[in-house]
Amino acid sequence: MGASCGIVGLPNVGKSTLFNAITQAGAESANYPFCTIDPNVGIVEVPDERLEKLTQIVVPNKVVPTAFEFVDIAGLVKGASRGEGLGNQFLGHIREVDAIAHVVRCFEDENITHVAGRVDPLSDIETINLELIFADLDSVDRRIDRIARKVKSGDKESKQELDVLEKLKAAFEEGQSARSVELDDEERKWIRDLHLLTIKPMLYVCNVAEDGINDADNNPHVQTVRQHAASEGAEVVVISAKVEAEIAELEGEDKEMFLEELGLTESGLDRLIRAAYKLLGLVTYFTAGVQEVRAWTIRQGTKAPGAAGVIHTDFERGFIRAEVIAYDHLVDAGSVAVARERGKYRLEGKEYVVADGDVMHFRFNV
């Protein structure tokens, strides 16, 4: 299954530098607003050390990691919801992604212009969030206008929809996001086609200076973002986009040595990718054979037939059963044969909920 995360923020906060580091796609980056005109899309591998372990056990001809899509969306400015800057065009791009990574500038540098003339993370966050809220309020108002006649005629379904829309409208007018509104599955169905911006899960990315990676706890800007994120129940990832761009150019031992010099065990990008993956409630299962060891992405809570369908729709349509070994059990056993002997090889049916790390083989008949 495909999953995408849009990188948003004010101009000149480091979005395109970060995107370049993630994908090495060469998106234009410059010290002026709107250097990114169209959203750049990059597909990246999800770092997962379990693939290496499985490869050592199975020794396949090919290894295929699962992937995640990042979209670099041009800098929003105050008034974007009213068309300021390149406003509505960019807001439309955000509607198409599954989650949002909001990059916030947490470093001082007089050589890099801030669109507001000062570094103020809370103000930056408020600017972006309000523009998203205003855009959603406009969508809700237009929907309310469209169903008003049906409501007056006594249409029950339209009245149910109106109740949900008015609940959201009240939150937006208080400066609250759709995420803050408690909605059950029945209520959510009425607004699904609105593709609200503020209902998407969000994480904050603190972009710090090169020498500030290991000193985030003493960075007042980072602490401000963390406090705000905690009030929303959101996660924070601290990185230096500039350093990540340097790391992205290295491979193998050179990369390991550079990380060691920085006092890091992994890149900030790996943490960001995993955080975005987790944000969307995604998990990974594996197929492992001589031809290939492969990682597959599914939503948490997916049952075996649905997981099989990620490989091919025929697998789901003709699903018979799944043969399953938990990753830890397979690694501990050292081979599928030993795992079988230990009774760790299971047969599961249509109601089985696939767990993160399951190594699976599907039986089907079409």
Q: Which residues are annotated as a binding site for ATP?
A: 12-17
CA-CA distance, 98 to 6, in Å (whole number)? Answer: 8
* Whole-angstrom distance, CA of residue 168 vs CA of residue 183: 10
Q: CA–CA distance from 354 to each of 50, 282, 283, 285 (Å)?
A: 17, 11, 9, 8
Residues 77, 10 contacting (CB under 8 angstroms): yes
Cβ 56 vs Cβ 162: under 8 Å: no
* Residue among 261, 345, 354, 348 nearest 307 (CA): 354
Residue 53 CB: number of other CB atoms within 10 A?
A: 15
With b for 16 or more beta-carbon neighbours within 10 A and e for fewer, the 242-271 pattern comes to: bbbbebbeeeeeeeeebbeebebeebbbbb
Separation between Cα atoms, residue 296 and residue 308, nearest integer Å: 10
Q: Which residue has the tokens 């193998």?
A: 252
* DSSP-derived secondary structure for 154-203: T-HHHHHHHHHHHHHHHHHHTT--GGGS---HHHHHHHGGG--STTS-EE
Residues of the binding site: 12-17
Indicate the SS3 state at residue 240. coil
Percent composition of the chain: helix, strand, coil (DSSP 3-state, to 5): 45, 20, 35
Looking up tokens 């379904």 gives 157
| Residues 303/354, Cβ–Cβ less than 8 Å | yes
Phi/psi of residue 344, nearest 5 degrees: -95, 0
Q: Provide the CB-side half-sphere exposure for 27 (13 A, CA).
A: 26
